[in-house]
Amino acid sequence: MRIAMIGTGYVGLVSGACFADFGHQVTCVDKDGDKIAALRRGEIPIFEPGLDALVNSNVKAGRLDFTTDLAAPVADADAVFIAVGTPSRRGDGHADLSYVHAAAREIAAVLSGFTVVVTKSTVPVGTGDEVERLIRETNPSADVVIASNPEFLREGAAIRDFKFPDRIVIGTSDERARKVLGDVYRPLSLNKAPLMFTARRTAELIKYAANAFLATKITFINEIADLAEKVGADVQEVARGIGLDNRIGSKFLHAGPGFGGSCFPKDTRALVKIALDHDVQLRIVEAVLAVNDNRKRAMARKVSSAAGGSLRGKTVAVLGLTFKPDTDDMREAPSIPLVTGLLDLGAKVRAHDPVGMEQARRELPDIEYCDDPYACVRGADAMVVVTEWVQYRTLDLDRLKRELAHPLVVDLRNIYRPEDMAALGFIYESVGRGLEPRK
C-alpha cells in the first residue's frame, strides 16, 4: 500500500512510522520546512520512547520519507491520512478546523486514481461531510472516498498503542474504501485487534465519546479521593475494589491532580460545544470539565494547607512538570496552575523534570530550574510530586529528608507508601489516602 500522511505532529509521525514498519510505503508531508529538514537528518521533533529508532530504521529501509510538497505522494497514494492539528479555537472552545480544510483542498487538487482520504485528526462530527464537500468542489471528477479513522494512542506509549490497539475504528460505508483500509491495517489482525467498521459520523463520535468517558472516569475517582480523605479511607483500594468489577474496569482510576494533556481538555470542551450546536446539553461532561479545572487550581491550596496555612517566603520544590511521564508535553499540564498558584501564594518555586524543562520554561518563566531532583529539594520547605516519572519512585528517601529544610512531601500522584514515609519521619500528604487506623 502507498500512504501519504499529511501532518507530522504527534499522531502523523507516529502513525506514519508505524505504517512504514508494517511494510507500507509512506511519505509524511508537512508545510514546516525546518521540521521536514530535521526529520530528513534523522532528528525527531518530539520526545516519544522508541520513535527515533522506528523512524530511522524505516527511512533506512526505504519505506519512509519526508517532504513539504504533497502533490506527488498524494497522487501516488492508495490512502491519504489527514493528521494535521485541530487546536481549540481561541475564545469559544470549538475545534479549529482551518488546517483540516486547507489540507482537504490541497489534496483534492492533486488526487489521481481511486484514493481514500482519511481524517485521523480528532474532528467534530460532520467534519467528514465538510471535507467531502470541499474535495468534490475543488475536484468534481476525483474518484475519492472520505473516511474517518480516529486515533486512540497515548503519549509516552504511542508506538505500543498503535501496534497493539484495543480496536481500530473505520468509519465509511463504501466497500472499496473498507477494503483499502482493511489492507492498510491487515498486519494488526495478527495482534487480534478488532477492526470495527461503522458509518463515518459514528466513527467521529466514538473518538469524542471515548475521551470524554475516560476523562469522566478520572474525574470521578478524583472526587471520591476527596471524600476518602475526609472519611479516612484509601482511594487506591477503593479504585481496586471497584475496578475488579469487569463492568467498571481497573484502568483510568488513578487519583491525582486532575487530567491535562493535548487531548482530554480540548476534546471534552469541543464535545460540549458540538452538543450545544445540536441543542443537546451534555451535563456530565460539562461537570467533568468544571470539576477538573477547579481541581488543578485547588492543588496549590492543598500544598499551602499541608505547609501550615501559609507559603509566604517558603521555597517549594516541584518534581515533574509535564502533564504525564514519558513525554516533554506541557499542554494543559496540572503543573502550570499549580506553580502559578504557589507563586501567587508567595512561595519561591524550584522545579525539576527529566525531559520537560525546556518546554516548561516557556509556560513558567519565573521559577528556578534544577538539573537534578536532589539539588531541587536542597534547603526547600516542601517537596511536591506532580508527575509520576519512574525515577522519582526510586529516589533515595533518606537523602531527600536530609536535603529538605523541612521534611514535608506532598505527593499528588501517590507514588510513595504512607507507612514508609511516616517511618522515615516525613510529614506526608498524598491524594485520597485518609488515615485509617489499621486493625
Residues in contact with ligand UDX by the rule CB under 6 A: 151-155, 211, 214, 218, 252-254, 256, 259-264, 323-324
Q: Give the residue from 31, 70, 140, 414 showing the smallest Cα distance to 254.
A: 414
Closest distance between ligand UDX and the C-beta of residue 332, in Å? Answer: 8
* Per-residue buried b or exposed e for 104-125, using 16+ beta carbons within 10 Å of the residue's own CB: bebbbebbeeebbbbbbbbbbb
Strand spans (E) along 214-314: none
Q: Residues at the annotated binding site for substrate?
A: 152-155, 207, 252-256, 260, 324
Question: Judged by CB, which is closer to ligand UDX: 221, or 307?
Answer: 221
Closest distance between ligand UDX and the C-beta of residue 340, in Å? Answer: 17
Closest distance between ligand UDX and the C-beta of residue 216, in Å? Answer: 11
Question: Judged by CB, which is closer to ligand UDX: 48, or 78?
Answer: 48
Question: Judged by CB, which is closer to ligand UDX: 271, or 404?
Answer: 271
Q: Output DSSP code: residue 234.
A: B
* Cα angle, residue 318 at apex, residues 317 and 320 outer, rounded to 5°: 150
Q: Residues at the annotated binding site?
A: 30, 35, 86, 122, 152-155, 207, 252-256, 260, 266, 324, 331
DSSP string covering 172-206:
---HHHHHHHHHHTHHHHTTTPPEEEE-HHHHHHH
Cβ–Cβ < 8 Å for 354, 156: no
Cβ–Cβ < 8 Å for 124, 204: yes
263 is catalytic: yes
Question: Judged by CB, which is closer to ligand UDX: 36, or 206?
Answer: 206
Closest distance between ligand UDX and the C-beta of residue 261, in Å? Answer: 3
Residue with cell 487531548: 263
Q: Give the residue from 136, 78, 87 showing the smallest Cα distance to 112.
A: 78
Question: Judged by CB, which is closer to ligand UDX: 314, or 352?
Answer: 352
Q: Which of 28, 263, 370, 376 is catalytic?
A: 263
Closest distance between ligand UDX and the C-beta of residue 263, in Å? Answer: 3
Q: Rg of the chain's alpha carbons, rounded to an integer?
A: 24
From CA 98, how far away is CA 102, in angstroms rounded?
6
Which residues are catalytic, by number?
263
